[in-house]
Amino acid sequence: MRHVIALDVGGTGMKAALVGADGGLLHQDRRATGRERGPEAVIEAILEFAGDLRAHGEHRFGEPAAAAGVAVPGIVDADRGIAAYAANLGWRDVPLRDLLSDRLSGIPVALGHDVRTGGLAEGRIGAGRGADRFLFVPLGTGIAGAIGIDGSVEAGAHGFAGEIGHVVVRPGGTDCACGQRGCLERYASASAVSQAWALAKGDPDADAADCARAVAAGDPSAAAVWQDAVDALADGLVTALTLLDPRTLIIGGGLAEAGDTLFVPLREAVRRRVTFQKLPEIVPAALGDGAGCLGAGLLAWDLLAAAATPPAAGGSGATPADPATPATPATHVGPNGPATPASPATPTTPTDLSEVTT
Ligand SMILES: [Zn+2]
């Protein structure tokens, strides 16, 4: 059975899957990243994991994986297949795509940024399914973002697009590791809420999940901490939606697990702030911590779809329901071609702009 390898490399653990043509997970596995053993050992652990997955697929499905997709943290040059920098793994300019392809007998490999890859999955097969424009914002240790446009995710000119966590929402405010002050992630990440709640409660072990529970139970001091985070988040999100006009705003990460405790006040806070902007639908992420791995699978299938020249050859299993994938000129894509289309065709807009009144 035709399948691909999907691998999501995190700071502590790696998640992997073999994904079928219909997007189904045929096999799932996890391993420790083992970063305490150093950057070289992490690379070897990834290659070994990928090799084992290939062997498993060949044994179980009668053929080895046709392609592989890998999501990694840090700064990623997806076009060249290089993990340019990852502070938590100690990486600098690791040619991971070629290393993996070599280990996997030359199959095409796509390398992606973890958040953008997770966002790709949320946008296509998760909470944003069917949305032509979305913004995915995971609220975890920090805050990142993925800008979805017509079935792919915008990386920016230098791979930094979507870093909404470093939009300044409180000028002159709390110091951020990025060197700026008052960044959104210092107020609305799960870590920031944990810190604020630990301080308010005088309990160093109190965290964001405790805070959410206390808010739901009607604790006024928790409500104050929570509302500060919600207000900061709404300020950041309104900046983003003013620039991007997304149809769907997908909020994920640990803080989103608070459910309505977060989403009810957040929708209200965003609604109060917009004037002329169209309110996007604000929804919780649907894929949880499996998003990165599912997105890696999509990257791999995208590579195969781009390499297959005649678009009519649908066969038994076309790629997962995805009407929004832009047509990619196959001539620009070699066996290890870019994971993202070099120049997605601009869709023609049927709307007559002269009729739009302002
Ligand atoms: Zn910052």
pLDDT at 341 over 80: no
pTM for this model (two decimals)? 0.83
Tokens 């998760």: give the residue: 126
Kindly compute the dihedral angle of the four CA atoms of residues 57, 60, 64, 66, in this order, to the nearest 10 degrees: -70
- What are the tens digits of pLDDT across the range 90-112? 999 999 999 999 999 999 999 99
322, two tokens: 């995805």
CA 345–ligand 1 middle distance (angstroms) = 34
Tens of pLDDT, residue by residue over 125-149, are 999 998 999 999 999 999 999 999 9
pLDDT computed for residue 311 by the predictor: 54
* Distance from Cα 193 to the centre of ligand 1, integer Å: 16
Separation of alpha carbons 69 and 111, rounded Å: 6
> Which residue carries 């997709």 as its tokens?
69
Closest residue by Cα to residue 70 from 38, 42, 37: 42
Distance 185 CA to ligand 1 centre (A): 7
What separation in Å is there between the alpha carbon of 191 and the centre of ligand 1? 14
Q: Quick one: which of 194, 197, 214, 122 has its CA closest to 162?
A: 122
Looking at residue 62, its pLDDT comes to: 96
Most confident of 22-26, 83-87, 293-297: 293-297
**DSSP string of 252-273?**
ESGGGGGTHHHHHHHHHHHHHH
- Please state which of the ranges 185-189, 268-272, 315-319, 351-355 shows the lowest mean pLDDT: 351-355
Span from the CA of 271 to the centroid of ligand 1 (angstroms): 25
SS3 percent helix, strand, coil of the chain, rounded to 5, is 40, 20, 40
CA distances from 111 to 97, 128, 182, 212, 273 (A): 6, 22, 32, 36, 38
The predicted structure's pLDDT at residue 308: 87
Query: How far does the centroid of ligand 1 lie from the alpha carbon of residue 266, in Å?
Result: 22
Q: Which two tokens stand for residue 76?
A: 């990623």
Query: What's the gap in Å between 82 CA and the centre of ligand 1?
Result: 24
Q: Give me ligand 1 centre to Cα 175, in Å.
A: 8
Q: Near ion ligand 1, which residues have CB within 5 Å?
A: 166, 176, 178, 180, 183
Please give the average per-residue pLDDT across 315-323, as a whole number.
43
Above 70 in pLDDT, residue 316? no
Query: For the chain, which residues make up each domain, given as ranges?
Result: 3-117+289-332, 130-286
Residues 6 or more apart in contact with residue 148 via CB below 8 angstroms: 119, 120, 123, 128, 131, 133, 134, 135, 136, 154, 246
Calculate how far, in angstroms, residue 123's C-alpha sits from the geometric centre of ligand 1: 25
* 80 Cα–ligand 1 center, Å: 27
pLDDT for position 88: 87
pLDDT: is 329 or 218 the higher one?
218
Distance between Cα 167 and ligand 1 center (Å) = 7
pLDDT higher than threshold 90 for residue 348: no
Q: In the CATH scheme, what is the homologous superfamily, with its name and number, of domain 130-286?
A: ATPase, nucleotide binding domain (3.30.420.40)
Same fold, 3-117+289-332 and 130-286: yes
Q: Give the whole-angstrom CA distance, residue 22 versus residue 7.
A: 18
- CA–CA gap between residue 125 and residue 81 (Å, rounded): 24
Element spanning 135, H or E: strand 133-138
For the chain, what is the mean pLDDT? 88
Helices (H), the chain: 39-61, 96-103, 114-125, 185-188, 190-201, 208-216, 220-244, 260-273, 291-307
Confidence of residue 158 (pLDDT cuts 50, 70, 90): confident
The answer to whether residues 68 and 52 touch, using CB atoms and an 8 Å cutoff, is no
Q: Give tens-digit pLDDT for 175-211.
A: 999 999 999 999 999 999 999 999 999 999 999 999 9
- Ligand 1 centroid–CA 186 distance in Å is 7
Ligand 1: centre distance to CA 211 (Å): 23
pLDDT at residue 172, rounded to an integer? 98
Q: How far is the CA of 174 from the centre of ligand 1 (A)?
A: 9
Average pLDDT over residues 258-268: 98
Residue 321 binned pLDDT confidence (cut-offs 50, 70, 90)? very low
Percent of the chain at pLDDT exceeding 70: 86
Q: Does 3-117+289-332 carry CATH code 3.40.50.300?
A: no
Cα of 203 vs centre of ligand 1, distance in Å, is 26
Q: What are residue 17's DSSP bridge partners?
A: 6, 28
